[in-house]
């Protein structure tokens, strides 16, 4: 009888405890967990794409490993049978540390070691396992303290899915453009630790050795805040390690990371880590890019530049008095603004972007040529290398079909085409792709000391002939122009060994990412 009364009393006490238990904060925690976990996944994928190239591969591997690791974590959760609140807090702290310092670890690994891939995989797997542990343990916490289990389970998964959506929107639109990789990761890691601290404060009666646990979380929270506050300084120091010369400007735009370095009289501009120009020899590149198509063109009335936000191609074009209008289309307004306002770059481009003949349009080049109805006599394509899917579409047969539609009947186009020496398959893939749309395609190349051997493909459908150079230049003259059209054996290729770059089967990315590994 006594034992029966004790059981009833225990049951009554459990029911009272469940009635008193407030799980709303845990639901908010679920939302934060989901936001943080998806952001970690995006950060690691984006950094690996930035440092290693081949964004499809990096995102695919990250997602695959992450989901598998979460499955492992969920499986392992069944072996955690007691002290659930303590275990949950430990997991939150672990995720905060690993995720918060993930960007820092990856960049330092890339600079100082040769084991980047191993460290990246390890980080993905560890974070994935801990994230996989969270929801099952949180579910059991609520199940053991709430009477309406079905309702709360539904709420947990609802908040989890909503958090994934919020995180996937916040990262590309708000966090990354404004904070960059390192500060974003530290901020999100701090949010994880803050969630653990809130749980300690709210549910202290359910936590064993609560004072010790609280002290540990507070210390970790303070550490994360310190690193967060110094995030910009850390970023600058790490960025400097990625570049040979002193960084004099660092700016993250909505589209790319702009870095400008300086050593003595040599100013260099990098976009997403790739050299855009060196002031010591950029004239070689831009003279070859601009003057060769202008020598083939029968008219110079209207010229379109796609890319070329640095204004250097526009500078060369402005040497022609018979040009009435230059339309420069560059997607990144921050880039064109910088190259208009920065004194060093503006001096280099001779204030070309302020010239009344130059009309700057900040729009995606693909959409511009797709929608434009006005014809151009010359189109100059000065875009970054095709190292991701968004750039790849600007080297496809469909894109070159739009380019042809934007040209006059005897108009001429030219595109930078990577290096015929370092990226031979990529160069000739571009050449073969252009040939699907134009009757006459002429490849040529030039030696640029800061770039190495660099190539271009010129195309037209008329009977255009190469004319004499009619403007002042620093490198090109009658004696060396013909040499630009001669390729050595180690720069040529059998076109039957490469595929054209189709919009729906992007061969160029495969060639480029394969070749850039040995660049």
Lookup result for tokens 């530290």: 186
502 in the same domain as 455: yes
- Stated length of the chain: 519
Lookup result for tokens 């794409």: 49
Which pLDDT does position 150 carry in this prediction?
Answer: 65
Which pLDDT does position 204 carry in this prediction?
Answer: 82
Q: In whole angstroms, give the CA distance from residue 23 to residue 173.
A: 31
Instruction: Give 86's Cβ-side CA count (13 Å radius).
Output: 12
Q: Annotate 361-397 with three-state secondary structure.
A: ECCCHHHHHHHCCCCEEEEEEECCCCCCHHHHHHHCH
Is the CB of residue 277 less than 8 Å from the CB of residue 388? no
Q: In whole angstroms, give the CA distance from residue 259 to residue 276.
A: 10
Distance (Å) of CA 62 to CA 297, 303, 403, 437, 462:
48, 43, 36, 38, 49
Instruction: Give 177's Cβ-side CA count (13 Å radius).
Output: 10
462 in the same domain as 375: yes
172 in the same domain as 75: yes
378 in the same domain as 251: no
Compute mean pLDDT per 10 residues along the chain, 519 residues long, and list them: 47 43 72 90 90 81 93 91 85 92 92 90 94 85 64 76 90 87 92 88 84 88 88 79 84 88 92 90 97 96 96 97 96 95 95 97 95 96 88 93 96 97 96 96 96 95 92 93 94 92 87 82
Q: How do 452-460 and 440-448 pair as beta strands?
A: antiparallel
499 in the same domain as 389: yes
Q: Which domain CATH number covers 289?
A: 3.40.50.150
CB atoms within 10 A of CB 324: 11
426 in the same domain as 483: yes
- Catalytic annotation, residues: 382
Distance (Å) of CA 252 to CA 109, 249, 330:
22, 10, 16
272 in the same domain as 234: no
CA dihedral 109, 112, 116, 120 (to 10 degrees): -10
Which pLDDT does position 10 carry in this prediction?
Answer: 43
Cβ-based neighbours of 504, under 8 Å, separated by 6 or more: none
Of 227, 257, 276, the position where a domain reaches its end is 276
Q: Which domain holds residue 248?
A: 244-276
Q: Which domain CATH number covers 71?
A: 1.20.1250.20
pTM of the model: 0.78
CB atoms within 10 A of CB 122: 14
287 in the same domain as 272: no
CA dihedral 463, 464, 468, 469 (to 10 degrees): -170
267 in the same domain as 405: no
466 in the same domain as 362: yes
- Work out how many domains the chain is built from and give that number: 3
Backbone angles phi, psi at 274, to 5 degrees: -100, 135
Which pLDDT does position 12 carry in this prediction?
Answer: 40
200 in the same domain as 306: no
Q: In whole angstroms, give the CA distance from residue 402 to residue 398.
A: 7
295 in the same domain as 262: no
DSSP secondary structure of 256-275: -EEEEEEETTEEEEEETTEE
If you compute the radius of gyration of the chain from its CA atoms, what whole number of angstroms results?
29
């Amino acid at each position: 009888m006594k034992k029966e009364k004790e059981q009833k009393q225990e049951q009554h006490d459990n029911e009272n405890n469940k009635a008193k238990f407030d799980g709303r904060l845990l639901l908010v925690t679920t939302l934060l967990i989901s936001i943080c976990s998806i952001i970690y996944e995006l950060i690691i994928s984006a950094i690996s794409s930035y440092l290693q190239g081949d964004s499809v591969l990096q995102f695919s591997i990250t997602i695959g490993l992450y989901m598998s690791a979460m499955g492992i974590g969920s499986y392992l959760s069944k072996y955690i049978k007691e002290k659930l609140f303590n275990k949950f807090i430990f997991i939150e702290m672990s995720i905060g540390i690993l995720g918060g310092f993930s960007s820092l670890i990856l960049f330092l690994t890339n600079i100082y070691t040769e084991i980047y891939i191993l460290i990246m995989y390890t980080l993905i797997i560890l974070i994935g396992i801990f994230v996989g542990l969270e929801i099952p343990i949180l579910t059991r916490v609520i199940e053991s303290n709430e009477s309406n289990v079905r309702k709360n389970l539904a709420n947990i998964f609802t908040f989890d899915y909503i958090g994934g959506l919020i995180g996937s929107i916040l990262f590309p639109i708000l966090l990354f453009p404004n904070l960059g990789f390192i500060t974003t990761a530290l901020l999100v890691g701090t949010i994880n630790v803050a969630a653990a601290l809130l749980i300690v404060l709210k549910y202290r009666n359910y936590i064993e050795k609560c004072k010790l646990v609280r002290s540990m979380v507070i210390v970790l929270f303070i550490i994360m805040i310190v690193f967060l506050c110094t995030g910009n300084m850390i970023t600058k120091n790490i960025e400097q390690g990625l570049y040979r010369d002193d960084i004099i400007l660092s700016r993250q735009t909505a589209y790319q990371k702009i870095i400008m370095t300086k050593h003595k009289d040599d100013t260099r501009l990098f976009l997403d880590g790739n050299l855009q120009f060196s002031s010591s020899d950029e004239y070689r590149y831009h003279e070859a890019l601009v003057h060769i198509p202008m020598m083939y063109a029968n008219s110079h009335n209207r010229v379109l530049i796609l890319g070329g936000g640095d204004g250097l191609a526009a500078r060369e074009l402005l040497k022609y008095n018979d040009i009435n209008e230059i339309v420069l289309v560059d997607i990144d307004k921050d880039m064109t603004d910088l190259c208009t306002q920065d004194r060093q770059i503006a001096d280099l481009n001779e204030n070309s972007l302020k010239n009344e003949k130059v009309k700057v349009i900040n729009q995606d080049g693909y959409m511009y040529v797709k929608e434009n109805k006005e014809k151009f006599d010359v189109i100059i394509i000065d875009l970054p290398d095709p190292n991701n899917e968004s750039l790849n579409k600007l080297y496809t047969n469909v894109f070159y079909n739009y380019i042809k539609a934007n040209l006059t009947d005897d108009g001429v186009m030219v595109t930078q085409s990577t290096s015929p020496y370092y990226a031979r398959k990529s160069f000739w893939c571009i050449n073969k792709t252009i040939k699907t749309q134009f009757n006459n395609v002429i490849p040529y190349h030039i030696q640029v000391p800061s770039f190495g051997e660099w190539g271009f493909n010129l195309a037209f459908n008329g009977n255009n002939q190469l004319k004499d150079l009619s403007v002042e230049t620093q490198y090109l003259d009658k004696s060396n122009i013909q040499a630009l059209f001669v390729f050595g054996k180690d720069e040529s290729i059998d076109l039957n060994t490469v595929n054209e770059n189709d919009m729906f089967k992007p061969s160029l990315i495969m060639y480029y990412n394969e070749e850039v590994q040995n660049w």
